Structure formats: structure tokens, C-alpha cells
Structure 1
Amino acid sequence: MVFLIVFLVLCGVAFLAGVPLNSYVFFVASFRVERTARTMWFWSRAVADLMFIIFLPLRFTSNFIPDLDSANEMSNTFTSFHMFFSAFLLMSLSVDHCILVACPEWARNHRTPRLTFKMVIGMWALSAGFSLRHGDLWEYVYSPSSIRMNFQLDEGKVKAAVAIQFLVGFLIPLVLILIPTFYIILTAKLRRNRIQSTKPLKILLGLIPTFFLCWLPYHVFSFLQISATYPHPLLNTGSTFACVLTYFSSCLNPIFYLTMEEEFLRYRQCVRNPQTTDNSGPEPAE
């Protein structure tokens, strides 16, 4: 009973916080701020996070009404999709900021919203491909033990799928995220008189720990699930809470955008003071 109450409270907090926050970021990025490459990244992230949060009731349903196979399959597949897309998007965002700092002239001429949108579509397609290809395996790994007993899957394929999920959806993107971030930090230290070089760092230093802390337990329990010789109640409980934790990343991301991102702050200032003139002009090469 306590487990059910705690699980319900966490799901409710994630849902009630994530839906309005991501809806607001989506609205502002779509209609209220200048359409730039940077706002396109945040717009695409808000769309993905909003869709992920909206499917949260399916996670609750699939854990406590295991007979609903369609809800369980859809929930697990969309969780996998969001994991891959989050990793790919954060990796692209860090590389984009690195290019912005290292090659400002090139970025000014070639870094366009249209190019960013094409990259987002490519990441959506790539994430869907990874998720749908192993949909039955995700359902096996993240389903309650009573459902997994009915699956007849090759154990080697299941372990390989979990390993691919960890490598492609977490470890490799994390390495590729940290390398450009360290470059930006080094550049910021070497260019102390150029405060603009530190602008991309504010968002990244918030998004990277959030990504790491919210998704690491998910992968840890994935390996524990496939390594366990027999189902254990604590393992199933931990896996359930690890899945719920991933939803909190979708609540924290828009907070970083709204409190640190310059264009969102400029919009909020204009809302508070309608007489303020927005002389921002085109997006600067930071």
C-alpha cells in the first residue's frame, strides 16, 4: 500500500509539473521568441518531453494492470524512444555550442533554424528506429515478472539489446557530450575577457547532471533485471521507481531553459514590461 501511494505521488508530481512547464516552453519557442537555431533545439526538446509526460498514465497503468498488453508495450517503447532522443539531442546541443564557441564566423553563416530542424527530424527517425526494432525486448525487460514469464525470447538477444541501449542511449552520447563541454570550459578560462564564450555553459551544466542522474538508475536496473536468476520483489520495485525517475528529467529541463536561457528571459522581461523594446536583432555568435 505504501509503495502504491509513493508511486502515485511521484507520478502525480511529475505529470502536474511536466505538462504545464513543457507546454509553456513549447508555446514560447513556437510563437513568442525569434526563430533561431537555439530556440529550435529547445522547441524540439519541449515537444519530446511533453509527449513523454503525457504518456505517464500508461506507465502507471502498465505497472498495476499488467494484463493490458498494449498499454505496457506502448509505454516501454516510448520510454526507450525518449531515452534515445534525449541522449542524441543533448549530444547535438553540446556539439552545437562547441561549434558556436570555436567557429563563430562559420556558425553565423551556416547555423540556421532550417538545418537544426532537419537534424531534429533525423534524430527522431533514428530514435524511433532503435526503439521499434527492439520493441518486444523492451517489453520483456521492463514488464512485471508475471508478464515476462510468458515471453519466449532468446536470452542472448535480450542482453545484447540492453547493452546496445546502454551504449547507444547513454554511455557513448555522454562521452560525446562531455568532450565539447570540457572544450567550452577551457575556452571560457582562456578567454576571460570574452564573457560571451561562457553563455552556452550555463544550460549544459544544468542539463548534463540531470540527464546522468535521471537515466543512470534506469540502465542499472536494466542490467540487474536481465542478470537476476529469479524475480525479486525489491528488484521489480527498484525498476519501477527508476522508470518514474526518468520522467523528472522532463520536468527539470524546462526549468533550466526558463531560468537560464537568454531568449526566454528576454521574453519574460518584455511580458513584465510591455514598453520594453526588443533590440536583440539576429542571434549573436556567442
Structure 2
Amino acid sequence: MEASYVFYVDNNQSYVEEHLYFEDNIDGFGITMAFLYLMVCIVGLAGNCLVIIAILKLDKMSSSTTVYIFNLALADGLFMVGLPFIASQNFKNRWVFGNTACKVVMVLDGINQFTSVFCLTAMSIDRYMALAEPLRFACWRTPRCAKVISASLWFFSLLTILPMAFHFTADHGFCSPDFATDTLWLGVLSYTFIIGFAIPFMVMMVSYAAMLISLRCRQKLFSAPNHEGRRLEQQLTKMVVAVVVVFGMCWLPFYIFNFLSLHYNSFFPSFVRAFEFAVLLSYSWSCANPILYACLSDTFRRHFRTLLCPGIKSCPGVQCSVEQYDQNDTKTKLKLLFLDLKRNDLEL
């Protein structure tokens, strides 16, 4: 359920009262939020477009990981497209684009949001398979298979949001879903929370935890101290913590405020403003991903430098060479595995 409209579902009279209050009291907070919305939109579009260009031009989708990153960046970039409509609604305290536009924008918004979360979840599973059993899962980690899975995730996102498309309306002056009862709305909110946050968050935590455990166990197989393995483990740990923490911080407040809104018969200004900030925070997730790539991925740092500074030559993307391993040489497999994981598979 996307973050832009849930708060005004119930209690239309309360909405009208708050609508009139804020329409007559557009102050520094409204201007500040409009500016922040604009910044998130610009950073999100620019960052995700840079990721998409880097993958298409330099990496050319050479691995399953970059296929998922491409679809994640595409979903995040399209998610930003709906942000100006939401910013306009919040700033003007009314929807001015018509009922049809309301349905279209919110459906596309929901599809892109769910696809972004689903692709990130698929990436966590993909990274675990790359480290735990690279030979066993090699057939599942081809770019072609990743493209099929990504297309399925887009279709599943459409099916997830489609039942709610008929409930989007701008009849009350604000683009929001209109449900007959609070019980029905609670069911929809619980459904979207479980599908769009709880399950993906748990899968990511389990996958990354298992990946770290597997990496540590593999290091013990080396007779001599492996400094490169330790460096990779530290880099991976930072990446895991960053992804999980940022995802939780950006999306959990939004769902908390939605559940809290069910217990209020009327909304006071501080609650409305806090909820608007939670909405902005949820959109910020889509512009945080490119920043994580730049900070935590050596490969994407090289790609970004190549695109932004053409005079600097970047190393080409390295494809996973699982199929080239000598299955009778355990140590050779492990060394090659660490090299491939370092360069490609475990990076964002």
C-alpha cells in the first residue's frame, strides 16, 4: 500500500475539518515539506537513472544480481514519478487532477512500491545462494532466470494492488481509497503490511544472517589466515546492516501511523504533520538505494565514476564464473568464489 493516501480513508467529516484548517494555515512547515518532496524526487530520479544507465551501458546485465538491481532501480525511479502528484495534494490539501488520474497514479504507485520491495527481497535470496551453494544454485542464478523472476515480480505486484484499484477515488477532494467499513480497511492495511513489509523484512534478515554465517564457516576452511576473507566479511556486514536498517526506518513509521489512524475519530495538526513526514520517509527509501550502491559497492563506484567522469576508465563487470570451477579442487573453488563474490555477487 503506497504511502501517500491512507491517512484520509475514514471519517470524511474529520478530513474536511482538517482540510479547511490546513488550507487556511499554509505555513513554513508546508513550504519545507514541499521542498523536501522536490529534493527526494530529484535525487531519486537522478540516482536511479544513473544506476540504470550504468547497468545497461557498462555491466550489460552480466549477472543475476545486476538484473535484480536494474529492476529495483526501474521500480524506484518510476515510484518517484508519482511523487509530484502527492506533493501537490499535500501542499494544496486537495486533489486537482481528476478521479481517473487518481486511480492511475495510485495504482502505478503501488505497483512500483511492491516491485521495489520484492526485488530487494529476491536480491537477498540471490546473494545467499551465491555464497551458500554456488554450484547447486548456478542454474537459478543466470541472467535469463533472473529476468523471468523479475517479470513475475512485476506481475505479482500488479495482482497485489489491482483489487484496491476500484476503491481509489477523489470524490471527497482528496485522492484516497474509500472503504465501506473500518473493519474492511483494517483487513486491507494488515494485508499490505504483511505482503509489503513483514514477510520481505523477515526474508531479508534470515537470508543475510545465513549469508554471514556461511561466509564465516567458509573462512575456517582455509588453513592460513585469510585477510581478504575478513575484509569481505566486514564489507558484507556493513552492507547487511545498512540495507536492513534503512529499509526498516523508511517503511515501519508509515505502517505504524496507518494503524494508529484507525483509532482516531479526528486528527490533530501534530499527528497530520508527523504522518506527512512518515510518507516522505517512505518515498526516501527509493532514493536511498543508489546512495547505498555508491557507498558500499566498489563496482558501482567505478561505474559511477566512469559515467560522471568519462576520462576515468572503469573495470568491466565480472560475470559469475561458477561453471568454470574445478569440482575436484575445493580450495581452488573457494578462492575463485571469494574473488567473484568480492567483485560482483555480494555487492549491491
Q: Tell me if both proteins adopt one fold, taking TM over 0.5 as the criterion.
A: yes
How many residue pairs get aligned? The number is 283
State the shift of 1:109 in Å. 4.4
Match of 1:165 among 174, 188, 192: 192
Aligned to 2:264: 228
Which structure 2 segments of 5+ residues have no match?
Answer: 1-26, 220-225, 322-336, 342-348
Cα deviation code 1:116-162 (max 9, x no counterpart): 1111111111111111212355x47xx89864999461322111000
Aligned to 2:6: none
- Structure with the bigger percentage of helix: 1
Aligned to 1:66: 95
Equivalent residue letter for 2:193: F
Please state whether the residue corresponding to 1:122 is helix, strand or coil: helix
Whether the 8 Å contact between 2:41 and 2:83 is mirrored in structure 1 is: yes
Whether the 8 Å contact between 2:43 and 2:287 is mirrored in structure 1 is: yes
Please state whether the residue corresponding to 1:106 is helix, strand or coil: coil
State the shift of 1:203 in Å. 3.7
Whether the 8 Å contact between 1:59 and 1:75 is mirrored in structure 2 is: no
For residues 177-216 of structure 1, the aligned pairs below 5 Å read 177-192=204-219, 193=226, 194-195=229-230, 198=233, 201-216=237-252
Equivalent residue letter for 1:251: C
Query: Which has the higher mean CA deviation after the structures are superposed, 148-157 or 206-215?
Result: 148-157
CA distance in structure 1 between the aligned counterparts of 2:57 and 2:201, rounded to whole angstroms? 32
State the shift of 1:280 in Å. 5.8
Match of 1:18 among 37, 40, 44: 44
Please state whether the residue corresponding to 1:214 is helix, strand or coil: helix
State the shift of 1:208 in Å. 1.8
Match of 1:55 among 54, 72, 82: 82
Equivalent residue letter for 1:244: L
Aligned to 1:127: 157
Query: Which has the higher mean CA deviation after the structures are superposed, 161-170 or 184-193?
Result: 184-193
TM-score of the superposed pair, with normalisation by structure 2: 0.72
Whether the 8 Å contact between 1:258 and 1:265 is mirrored in structure 2 is: yes
Query: Which has the higher mean CA deviation after the structures are superposed, 101-110 or 53-62?
Result: 101-110
Asked if residue 28 in structure 1 is aligned to residue 54 in structure 2, the reply is yes
Instruction: Name the Cα RMSD after superposition.
Output: 3.0
CA distance in structure 2 between the aligned counterparts of 1:84 and 1:24, rounded to whole angstroms? 21
Which structure 1 segments of 5+ residues have no match?
Answer: none
Asked if residue 99 in structure 1 is aligned to residue 125 in structure 2, the reply is no
CA distance in structure 2 between the aligned counterparts of 1:48 and 1:238, rounded to whole angstroms? 26
Asked if residue 87 in structure 1 is aligned to residue 117 in structure 2, the reply is yes
State the shift of 1:243 in Å. 1.4
Identify if the C-alpha distance between structure 1 residues 41 and 153 changes in structure 2 by more than 3 Å, giving closer, same or farther: same
Equivalent residue letter for 2:116: S
Identify if the C-alpha distance between structure 1 residues 118 and 263 changes in structure 2 by more than 3 Å, giving closer, same or farther: same
TM-score of the superposed pair, with normalisation by structure 1: 0.86
Whether the 8 Å contact between 1:58 and 1:71 is mirrored in structure 2 is: no
Match of 1:260 among 283, 292, 296: 296
Identify if the C-alpha distance between structure 1 residues 34 and 82 changes in structure 2 by more than 3 Å, giving closer, same or farther: closer
Identify if the C-alpha distance between structure 1 residues 144 and 59 changes in structure 2 by more than 3 Å, giving closer, same or farther: farther
State the shift of 1:281 in Å. 4.5
Runs of 4+ with deviation above 6 angstroms: 143-146
Whether the 8 Å contact between 1:37 and 1:116 is mirrored in structure 2 is: yes
Query: Which has the higher mean CA deviation after the structures are superposed, 234-243 or 89-98?
Result: 234-243
Whether the 8 Å contact between 2:121 and 2:203 is mirrored in structure 1 is: yes
Match of 2:73 among 46, 52, 62: 46
Equivalent residue letter for 1:257: Y
Whether the 8 Å contact between 2:179 and 2:185 is mirrored in structure 1 is: no
Query: Which has the higher mean CA deviation after the structures are superposed, 223-232 or 10-19?
Result: 223-232
CA distance in structure 2 between the aligned counterparts of 1:30 and 1:150, rounded to whole angstroms? 37
**Higher gyration radius (CA):** 2
Identify if the C-alpha distance between structure 1 residues 226 and 104 changes in structure 2 by more than 3 Å, giving closer, same or farther: same
Please state whether the residue corresponding to 1:282 is helix, strand or coil: coil
Whether the 8 Å contact between 2:52 and 2:73 is mirrored in structure 1 is: yes
